Structure 1
Amino acid sequence: MKAKTQKILFIVNPGSGNKEVDYKKEIKAFFKSKEEELAIYELPENCSLAKIKSAIEKAYADRVIAVGGDGTLKLVAECLLKTKTPIGIIPAGSANGMAKELGIPLELNEALELAVNGKPKQIHAVLINGELCIHLADIGFNAYIVKKFDELPTRGMWTYAKAAWHAFWYHRKMDVEFKIDKKTIRQKAAMVVVANAKKYGTGFEINPEGELDDELFEVIIVKKYAVLEIIKIWLSKLPWDPKKIESFQTSHLKITTKHKVHFQVDGEYLGKVDTVEAKIIPKAINVIVGPSA
């Protein structure tokens, strides 16, 4: 008896990355001599979640592949939350943080091969102020960088560096308060990270303790604008100085700030907030991972 032909749906975000690659064309060329059944849904501008969900339901696909950055993956994951359908990633964003986290090749044909044949892994996610977070969310310094990055006309690491330089000079510390295990923490901080994953798309490992398949997330308080500390951690992997950076583990959390602060989830700037509520979503999604993940 002949095995069922695998059907793969690609959700392509044409607005991701530098727009130099025609992903729709490249995907069709890759599958020209393959046995798999191919379907492509290109995201229109201001596409609603309901439209994406409808496209996924109509496709009856065995795998759904997000072609874009962390924001595109988040959209697909929201549609497939708590289902068994494997989600793959073709890295096509500016930073591709989650793709790097999961060991997805950045080379297109290698990523496509993995999307077809790779094994899925069940991971948890975090619900933060009603937003699904698969990768990293934060308030303060980095969220301000994301805001400035979005406002600049170009993409890439040089643009990110310009946004970071602006944030370094203009962003101010926050007064934050939260409770962990009945202990109230009050702290002046440059940023607070709610971390499901280990590192940002730049490669900086903010959360060495992070595991995508446990039932906890990490809260990292960056107390100072410690540029030299960050460079030291990045290059040498030496332990953090607890006077500058501190971390905690939890499954739920409420952070309050004295004044409204910049807030981002998975690379998407979501404005200013004075409260952040986070809770774990265990066994949230099945993602196709690289051999090293």
Structure 2
Amino acid sequence: MGAGNSSAKLLFIVNPGSGNHQINYSEAITLHFKAESQEIEIFELPKDCSLENLKQTIDQSKADRVIAVGGDGTLKLVAECLAGTNIPIGIIPAGSANGMAKELGIPLELEAALKVAASGQLKKIHAIKVNGEFCIHLADIGFNAYIIKRFDHLPQRGMIGYAKAAWQALWSHHKMEVDLEIKGKQIQTQAAMVVIANATSYGTGVKINPEGDLTDDLFEVILVKKYTVLEILKVKFTELPFNREKIELFHTKDLCIKTRHKVHFQVDGEYQGKVNQVEARILPAAITIIIP
């Protein structure tokens, strides 16, 4: 699909709460486009911005491209507003993990990412509906969701905070009894976590889903069965391949998980509370993303 041009209007949705607070993104974006004839508009997300308010802002701007400036949570919000439309979504990675930006090969450096947002190529990708939530990256139940819950309450951000949360979680998280229904087949097992993967990797760079493809009409379900400290930390923090005896992978268009007890649940890095049932289905070609 085609590249952008300077007559297109760009709307930047900036999450001021994202990332490390070392860059004033609104100022940097304004400065970047100052010398160009590009029409831009910047909207800073207020706290607890509703989907309706954001949709209204996007509609009123009449923008040709909408760019999410933040982490996966900000991108998820913008993607939800534009799902089912042909308005392209750009990404300026400004979160702590930026999983989706890494997945799509978007530069992490600001100036380079702005160039891609203004004139990159367009690509349709699918999303997943998980318990009514729009998921563009990864959702899971169990260990990782518990880490995210712990991480949200820690003063340290970034990888140190994440490692600390993981260490705490390892000593207090128990295996789950899960019942999966995939393609009409029932699987009953114990698991440390079950990942519903649109993308291939976590924001830490770990390839949890080596067989993932954002343009097909399937998503992957990764069942982490054996609960070894090493395997879990390997999955979270390194790029080493995992042990297939301990981890199983399935391709599907829909899924139902039931658990005996309530379990921790997260979607795109945002903790959703505890659940004992998860339903997921593919949303083919749901959004258009701007890529290099």
| TM-score, with structure 1 as normaliser | 0.94
Alignment match of 2:123 (pick from 118, 121, 125):
121
Matched, 1:76 2:70: no
Contact 1:168–1:225 under 8 Å retained in 2:
no
Aligned-CA RMSD value = 1.5
CA offset digits 1:252-277 (Å, max 9, x no partner):
01000000000000000000000000
Deviation readout 1:148-193 (Å, 9 max, x if unpaired): 1111123111111111111111111100001223321011000000
Q: Are residues 1:260 and 2:262 paired?
A: yes
Give the equivalent residue in structure 1 for 2:46.
Answer: 44
TM-score, length-normalised on structure 2? 0.95
Shift of 1:249: 0.6
Deviations 1:19-55 (A, max 9, x none): 1110000000001001110100000111111111011
Counterpart of 1:54? 56
> Aligned partner of 1:224: which letter?
K
Sequence identity of aligned pairs in percent? 62
* Partners of 1:138 and 1:264 within 8 A in 2: yes
Q: How far has the Cα of 1:235 moved from its partner?
A: 5.7
State the partner residue of 1:218: 220
Q: Distance in 2 between matches of 1:29 and 1:47?
A: 26
Are the aligned partners of 2:206 and 2:238 in contact in 1 as well (CA < 8 Å)?
A: no
Q: How far did residue 232 of structure 1 move?
A: 6.3
| 2:197 aligned partner | 195
Q: Is the 8 A contact 1:17 1:155 kept in 2?
A: no
Q: Of 166, 169, 194, which residue of structure 2 is paired with 1:167? A: 169
Match of 1:286 among 281, 285, 288: 288
Q: Name the residue aligned to 2:144.
A: 142
Distance in 1 of aligned mates of 2:232 and 2:239 = 10
Gaps of 5+ in 2: none
Work out the CA distance in 2 between the residues paired with 1:148 and 1:30. Answer: 37
For structure 1, the residue ranges without an aligned partner over 5 or more in a row are none
Higher mean alpha-carbon deviation, 153-162 vs 3-12, is at 3-12
Structure 2 counterpart of 1:154? 156
CA distance in 2, matches of 1:45, 1:180: 38
- Secondary structure of the residue aligned to 2:147 is helix
In terms of mean alpha carbon deviation, does 117-126 or 177-186 score higher? Answer: 177-186
Letter in structure 2 aligned against 1:115: A
Q: 1:289 deviation in Å? A: 1.6
CA distance in 2: counterparts of 1:102 and 1:256, whole angstroms: 32
